[in-house]
Amino acid sequence: MAPSDRSPLTRLLQSIENFTSEEVDVAIELLDIYLSQPDQKDYRFLCLTDESDLPVGYACFGPTPLTEGVYDLYWIAVHPEWQNRGVGSQLMEVVEQEMQKGNARMLMIETSSQESYRRTIQFYLKRGYNIVATIEDFYKPGDAKIIFSKRFQEIPKTN
């Protein structure tokens, strides 16, 4: 990703109806950190582009602070015109491959319980992620945080 990707990615984020303006602002803030601080290690970005080299989807992920081998998926976004065409699945596959190169044990994902996120929830479940927690009324009354997890390495059992 390069600074020239900022504007197209901003437009991509703004085109997704589920995202509030505050969520778009946070996603852009992470992108700005990534672009302006190339030595930082908190956020990694992957971007898929079309034949014109315009972004059609991207994912932002990084290691979870104070953990060994645990990562967070901060954002995955696919332009509405490219949804249901395998872009999200490709992104998740590459994210998982990249993390496993770094000996990731687990990927954590958080999302909203709102009806508008029903397809998002199904997307994660279909890819082998398990719901490990639900925190009711987290984002606002009636909007729970759903936390997903997928293990890539089993933890050895101790006696």
CATH number at residue 47: 3.40.630.30
What CA–CA distance (Å, rounded) separates 77 from 16?
8
Which residue has 């998982």 as its token pair? 96
> Measured between alpha carbons, how far is 47 from 57 in angstroms, rounded to an integer?
6
pLDDT tens per residue, range 1-44 = 788 889 999 999 999 988 989 999 999 999 999 999 989 989 99
Tell me whether residue 158 is in a domain. no
Choose among 52, 45, 113, 124: nearest CA to 82: 52
Host domain of residue 9: 3-151
Reduced to 3 states, what is the DSSP secondary structure of residue 21?
helix
Residues 104-143 pLDDT 10s: 999 999 999 999 999 999 999 999 999 999 999 999 999 9
Domains of the chain: total: 1
157 occurs within a structural domain: no
Flag whether 156 is in a domain.
Answer: no
User: Is residue 23 assigned to a domain?
Assistant: yes
Amino acid at 50: D
Across 85-120, b (16+ Cβ under 10 Å) vs e yields eebbebbbeebbeebeeeebbbbbbebbbeeeeeeb
Residue 77 inside a domain? The answer is: yes
pLDDT of residue 3: 86
The 8-class DSSP code of residue 102 comes to T
Alpha-carbon gap, residue 12 to 75, rounded angstroms: 12
Residue at 114 is within a domain:
yes
AA identity, residue 115: E
- Does residue 159 sit within a domain? no
71: confidence class by pLDDT, cuts 50, 70, 90? very high
Is 96 a member of any domain? yes
Q: Give this prediction's pTM.
A: 0.89
